[in-house]
Structure 1
């Protein structure tokens, strides 16, 4: 009799399989990597969440439906920061689920160092890391 567990199905199983292919990053580690110039943050939350909860200073704001076009360094709609395929992008969504799906897509484009923030923006904020209100002047 086999004791092997069947593969999980549905979105939870899909996330497990995706996340098994790369190392995710925690909020404090992400902050340190960005501060050291080793990574770039990209915030994929939609406008209403950014207005409600605030912004991570210095993060590139790209809504999820534009992400691949903005981060592909060979694309005609790339963001100015998207200069190479080997950049370390840290994708941030609200709670760390949609960002994993986005990382899978970025890996398929050749952005093999892309990762995502465990717990998303909410984990960043809970860790007491810098957040500014939308429209705040600094």
Structure 2
């Protein structure tokens, strides 16, 4: 039986660990202290955790809260549903999830939208809190 060209061009299946490794090769992740310093210089911290985690653990003061399923629509500077902070493709964005996994996949998506300076926080919100950086209920 012949294999169609569509099937030949389909990417080979890989596990999530391999996918994370592959997308993280395209940018440099940052730690909590660097994220705080960049935020002080104008970078946009974006918390993509769902509401139950924010209610349980608190939030980072000044972070824009955008749940993951709305991220691309809210951060695309050309989008009709963009957040007021989404002013440029050159904006430095630091995506924060709970532990630093979902944020890496989110950054890959933002890069596809042309937000080439997007990165994520290694260890996520939990690393931020463990570093003793500000958190509000």
Asked if Structure 1 and Structure 2 have the same fold, meaning a TM-score greater than 0.5 normalized by the shorter chain, the answer is yes
- The aligned runs of 1:60-75 (5 Å cut-off) are 60-75=64-79
Following TM superposition, where does structure 1 have runs of at least 4 consecutive aligned residues deviating by more than 3 angstroms? none
Alpha-carbon shift at residue 9 of structure 1 (Å): 3.0
- The aligned runs of 1:1-138 (5 Å cut-off) are 9-37=14-42, 39-133=43-137
Alpha-carbon shift at residue 22 of structure 1 (Å): 0.3
Aligned positions, number = 125
With the length of structure 1 as denominator, give the TM-score of the two structures: 0.89
Instruction: Compute the RMSD of aligned alpha carbons.
Output: 1.0
Q: Matched residues in 2 for 1:40 and 1:67: separation?
A: 13
Q: Matched residues in 1 for 2:109 and 2:125: separation?
A: 20
Alpha-carbon shift at residue 114 of structure 1 (Å): 0.3
Deviations 1:56-80 (A, max 9, x none): 0000000000000000000000000
Q: Matched residues in 2 for 1:17 and 1:11: separation?
A: 10
With the length of structure 2 as denominator, give the TM-score of the two structures: 0.90
Q: Matched residues in 2 for 1:105 and 1:69: separation?
A: 11
Structure 1, unaligned runs of 5 or more = 1-7, 134-138
Alpha-carbon shift at residue 36 of structure 1 (Å): 2.0
Deviations 1:73-127 (A, max 9, x none): 0000000000000100000000000000000000000000000000000000000
